[in-house]
Each structure stands twice: as structure tokens, then as C-alpha cells.
Amino acid sequence: MTSGDTRSSAPQEPVPTATDRHDAVDTYIAQWARERPHMDMSPMAIIGRLSRLAVQLQLRLDRVFAEFGLQSWEFDVMATLVRSGEPHELTPGELDRTMMISSGTTTHRISKLEQRGFVTRRRDGDDKRVVRVRLTDAGREVFDAAHVAHMVNERAILAPMSDEDRTGLLKGLKSLLSAVAIQSAVERG
């Protein structure tokens, strides 16, 4: 050091990161380790955090949707119609499969969105047995505004993470989701 340098020669303590901080899941794991020392509680470190994170994320997403008078399921139905491309129209069965919900749930959701003027239902021109659900101009307008705010919100949620952490998380989540989907398919037979 030079005579004008005011830095201390003592080693600096590392700055704690978010991953260094003790959280509620750590407490639960420690409690279980004490009560069931023979059991491996390591899966809880991931599953417990994913569960807690899912609740917190949904709350943050719902707040943004509420700013536009929407519930998350309304946003999801409209997003599915927009993603389908022009003319932003699907059959209820296509909505069922795309959103992985039951036909009864789909019918209820379509009815609610139709009451709000966000979608219309019409009979197919070629096959009168087929109903088509289309996003209205009013639905597209509210969706477009909510979608912009939703993407800003998602970016803000992820902002504290480094690019490296995001990449690692994405890789791990894709791997886990794929494995769970395969396990579920096997269990269903």
C-alpha cells in the first residue's frame, strides 16, 4: 500500500449473498433432521422452495393482472387465443388441450369472458356442430396492455439474478419438468 492509500490491510469479510441467508425452509429441514435423523431431507430444500416460490410468484402476477381488472385464468385464456395467431380463435377442445384444463372448466371460463365482452362464440361455417371462440377487439386491447405490464413484472422478479444464475435455473427447471412429466406419464400407464 502507498502512504495515501486508506484501505485496511485486514482481510475483508465476504458480502453475504441471497443463497447464504438462512430461510424458513432451512429451519424446516433442520427441525426434520432433528426429529428424523435417519431420513434424507435434502429433497425438501428444492421442493419446499419451489412450493413457496410458486405461491409468492402467483401473488405478484395476480397483482399485475388485477390492475387491468383480470384474474390470472382470464389472462391465460386470452394469451392462448393470441398465441394461436390470427384470427385469435380456437375451439373449446383446442383450448382444453392447450391449457390442460377440463372441458367443464373451459366452458365456464369462456362464458365468463364472453359476459365481459372479451371473447365471442360462434358456430363454425363448415360444421355447425363446432363452436369457435374468438378474442374480441376489447379483449385484445385489455390483453395487450396487461401483457406489457406482465412482462415488465416478470423481468423485475428475475432482475436480482445474474445471467449465469438464470441460465442454471432454467436448465435445472427444464430438466425437472421433463423428468416429472415422464414420471407422470409412466404412472398413468
| Radius of gyration for the alpha carbons in the chain, expressed in angstroms and rounded | 24
According to CATH, the topology of domain 72-147 is Arc Repressor Mutant, subunit A (1.10.10)
Give the whole-number percent of the chain exceeding pLDDT 90.
Answer: 73
Judged against a pLDDT cut of 60, whether residue 4 lies above it is answered with: no
Higher pLDDT: 18 or 165? It is 165
**Which pLDDT does position 22 carry in this prediction?**
87
Cβ atoms < 10 Å from Cβ of 65: 19
Task: Please state the rounded mean pLDDT for residues 143-165.
Answer: 97
Distance CA 165, CA 181 (A): 24
Q: Which of the four pLDDT bands, split at 50, 70 and 90, describes residue 11?
A: low
Extract the C-alpha cell encoding 155: 423481468
**Which pLDDT does position 184 carry in this prediction?**
86
Q: Which of the four pLDDT bands, split at 50, 70 and 90, describes residue 9?
A: low
Q: Report the phi/psi class of residue 85: left, alpha or beta, with left for phi > 0 and alpha for psi in -120 to 50.
A: left
pLDDT digits (tens, 9 = 90+) for 18-34: 666 888 999 999 999 99
* 90: β partners: 133
Distance CA 148, CA 162 (A): 23
- Render 71-130 in DSSP notation, one character per residue: -HHHHHHHHHHHHT-TTTEE-HHHHHHHHT--HHHHHHHHHHHHHTTSEEEEE-SS-TT-
The rounded mean pLDDT for the chain is 89
> Which pTM was predicted?
0.80
Distance CA 25, CA 12 (A): 29
